[in-house]
């Protein structure tokens, strides 16, 4: 783009007049000045509110400042067309001199996406590397993600996304005028990341086969997805789940100049009926039932975008939630937000957009009911279960930054502690009516208004937790603690139940259960230990799989039942990735990588395959195959990597084998690519 480019003359040539011959967009200098280096090698990319320079070369007669006038005209399309008009007394000549891209400007105070600290802009605009936190609150895992805004074709894909939106197709002039507003932009892009209502990027799938596409867990960056969408002429890419939708949205927003970050909510509520309450049903033996559309996702991922809210006032400026995962419709379209985080914290449900739904996602109450023979025989309210942790990648490091207080505030967290003490009180009339008017199963709510049938005093306290972090191939160890808070001995029955579940749905059928009888003395504390061996779950539970475990303790005399539940994920053995010379390498310099997996399971793995791949580092994936991988033995693969552009790239290593289709180990290594020296 720095070379002299011949201008196109629209009205013929005449040697008696001044003519524009060449134009130089001065791309190198402009990209440095506008902080847009690397975004495109095809177009000049600049930011609004900041001047840029270009050089025009004329020939013909001499310029006469008294009679000649130079006019620059910008025409808005997907790109901006730049026209030059040379006007003399009786003549006008027009030239199309090329196109440029205009982005939002977070460096400019007058821009609604202005972000005052450069360290924040570095993280939320310029960085092409991020982390997505996943798993469960008790066992958090992190997945690196390459946002890829500097990869070839990504900028052009983001511009195409705007042109393919229903808003642009229906009324292009109105769409152009509204694009200056980041609130409007984020709402349009949010809907376009999923394909449910338009020619959007990703199709979601949460169960069934993924053979006709890519399994959501196999994606590690946005560039592949955006490039595939463009190359297929805007056909939806298969498949995405919440962290994929969110990460792609984050890429598009950063490309367009809107500061953005990926945020994870652990124990996120999906409040389908809009009553800001989640109902959970359990049998009297501890099996969780799938009787409602409401659910609690072990984790959910959305995006926060930084912008002023001139439509709401300064108190709602700052981070806004934008969620592209197609869960519920907003104004008839599968999108969510932008909603000010401040509105969620202050319970300002009238603030647009979708505040009640997002409030419920992070702060809904959970009502647990034990049912038997059509009767509710136990119930409790939990005010602290939803949104236990909300976090994002810290600035300049891989540590998580805790955002929970920004959504809930100190007063709300303190109120939760107080409400927890009252969680077993009788339901209010409104709560009873809510149960009868939201299409829930028909149970007799006249009994068991407290945890304990017939209004009995709540004398048992029960807790459940796993011992250590469950690791694939090892036994799962659990501890149940029962406290008798009365002066009378009690005869008890314990039921413990384990169910496999997906992170975003209610559990499936039980795969392990146990029950036993016991006695507890007045004021005694019983500690009960349970073990699920590897052989009892190896064929049904994958690495990073989720388990719901619940215990119901019943007093055989009073009929009082108390429930405790926990959900946890299974960690996988690590694959080690070692880069010779460290994880920072130069562009176009070949480097050696050693990848190793050691079988820590107590059984031989058949047909083990170790796969290594890296977008922007390797042209194709490499594999090492081994017939048998015995316990304690390792499989290795040595590969060479070489990056063609600076930035942050990811190496991904996976281990699969034929013993079971559900056991897979996956590891990542961040690689920092620096520019060539001198």
Long-range contacts of 348-351 (CB under 8 A, 24+ apart): 348/316, 351/312, 351/316
Torsion, CA 135, CA 136, CA 139, CA 144, rounded to 10: 30
Among 300, 382, 530, 657, the one annotated catalytic: 300
294: annotated active-site residue:
no
Among 323, 354, 544, 555, the one annotated catalytic: 323
Q: At 643, list the tokens.
A: 């990056």
Q: What are phi and psi of 309, to 5 degrees?
A: -115, 80
Q: Is the peptide bond before 353 cis (omega within 30 degrees of 0)?
A: yes
CA distances from 333 to 95, 194, 277, 584 (A): 42, 10, 23, 44
CB 240 within 8 A of CB 248: yes
CB-CB neighbours of 390 under 10 Å? 25
323: annotated active-site residue:
yes
Residue 79 burial by CB count (10 A; 0-12/13-18/19+): exposed, middle or buried?
Answer: buried
Q: At 22, list the tokens.
A: 């060449």
Among 242, 250, 339, 459, the one annotated catalytic: 242
Strands (E), 354-484: 365-372, 375-382, 389-393, 400-402, 460-466, 476-484
Residue 26 burial by CB count (10 A; 0-12/13-18/19+): exposed, middle or buried?
Answer: middle
Torsion, CA 656, CA 657, CA 661, CA 663, rounded to 10: -60
300: annotated active-site residue:
yes
Residue written as token pair 């967290």:
413
Enzyme catalytic residues: 242, 300, 323
């Amino acid at each position: 783009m720095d070379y002299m480019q011949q201008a196109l003359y629209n009205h013929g040539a005449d040697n008696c007049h001044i003519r524009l011959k060449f134009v130089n967009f001065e791309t190198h200098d402009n990209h440095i000045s506008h902080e847009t280096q690397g975004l495109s090698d095809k177009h000049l990319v600049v930011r609004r509110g900041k001047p840029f320079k270009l050089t025009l070369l004329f020939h013909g007669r001499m310029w006469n400042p008294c009679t000649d006038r130079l006019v620059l005209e910008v025409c808005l399309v997907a790109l901006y067309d730049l026209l030059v008009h040379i006007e003399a007394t009786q003549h006008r000549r027009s030239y199309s001199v090329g196109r440029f891209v205009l982005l939002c400007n977070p460096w400019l105070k007058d821009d609604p996406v202005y972000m005052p600290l450069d360290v924040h802009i570095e993280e939320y605009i310029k960085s092409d590397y991020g982390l997505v936190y996943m798993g469960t609150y008790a066992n958090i895992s992190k997945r690196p993600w390459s946002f890829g805004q500097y990869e070839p074709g990504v900028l052009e894909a983001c511009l195409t996304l705007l042109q393919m939106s229903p808003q642009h197709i229906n009324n292009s002039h109105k769409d152009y005028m509204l694009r200056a507003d980041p609130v409007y932009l984020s709402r349009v892009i949010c809907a376009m990341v999923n394909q449910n209502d338009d020619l959007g990027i990703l199709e979601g799938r949460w169960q069934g086969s993924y053979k006709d596409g890519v399994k959501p867990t196999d994606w590690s960056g946005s560039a592949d997805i955006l490039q595939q969408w463009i190359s297929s002429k805007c056909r939806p890419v298969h498949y995405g789940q919440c962290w994929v939708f969110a990460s792609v949205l984050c890429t598009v927003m950063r490309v367009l100049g809107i500061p953005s970050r990926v945020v994870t909510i652990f124990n996120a509520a999906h409040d389908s009926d809009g009553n800001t309450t989640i109902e959970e049903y359990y049998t009297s033996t501890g099996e969780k039932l799938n009787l409602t559309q409401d659910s609690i996702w072990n984790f959910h991922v959305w995006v926060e975008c930084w912008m002023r809210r001139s439509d709401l006032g300064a108190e709602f400026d700052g981070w806004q939630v934008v969620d592209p995962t197609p869960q519920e419709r907003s104004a008839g379209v599968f999108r969510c937000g932008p909603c000010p985080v401040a509105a969620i914290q202050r319970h300002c449900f009238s603030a647009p957009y979708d505040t009640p739904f997002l409030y419920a996602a992070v702060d809904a109450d959970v009502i647990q009911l034990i049912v038997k023979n059509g009767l509710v025989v136990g119930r409790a309210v939990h005010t602290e279960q939803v949104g236990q942790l909300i976090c994002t990648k810290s600035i300049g490091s891989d540590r998580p930054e805790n955002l929970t207080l920004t959504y809930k505030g100190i007063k709300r967290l303190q109120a939760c502690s107080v409400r927890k003490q009252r969680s077993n009180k009788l339901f209010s009339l409104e709560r009873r009516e809510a149960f009868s008017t939201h299409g829930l199963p028909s149970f007799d709510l006249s009994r068991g208004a407290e945890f304990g049938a017939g209004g009995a005093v709540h004398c048992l306290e029960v807790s459940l937790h796993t011992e250590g972090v469950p690791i694939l191939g090892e036994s799962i160890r659990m501890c149940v603690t029962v406290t008798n808070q009365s002066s009378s001995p009690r005869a008890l029955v314990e039921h413990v139940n384990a169910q496999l579940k997906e992170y975003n749905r209610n559990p499936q059928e039980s795969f392990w259960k146990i029950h036993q009888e016991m006695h507890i003395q007045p004021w005694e504390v019983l500690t009960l230990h349970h073990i699920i061996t590897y052989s009892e779950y190896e064929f049904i539970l994958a690495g990073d799989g989720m388990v719901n475990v619940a215990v119901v303790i019943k007093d055989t005399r009073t009929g009082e039942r108390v429930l405790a539940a926990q959900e946890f994920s299974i960690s996988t053995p690590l694959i080690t990735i070692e880069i010779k010379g460290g994880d920072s390498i130069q562009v176009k310099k070949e480097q050696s990588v050693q990848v190793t997996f050691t079988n820590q399971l107590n059984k031989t793995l058949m047909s083990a395959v170790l796969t290594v791949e890296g977008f922007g580092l390797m042209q194709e994936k490499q594999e090492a195959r081994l017939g048998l991988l015995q316990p304690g033995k390792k499989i290795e693969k040595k590969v060479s990597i070489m990056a063609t552009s600076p930035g942050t790239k990811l190496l991904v290593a996976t281990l699969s084998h034929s013993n079971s289709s559900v056991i897979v180990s996956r590891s990542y290594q961040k690689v920092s690519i620096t520019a060539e020296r001198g």
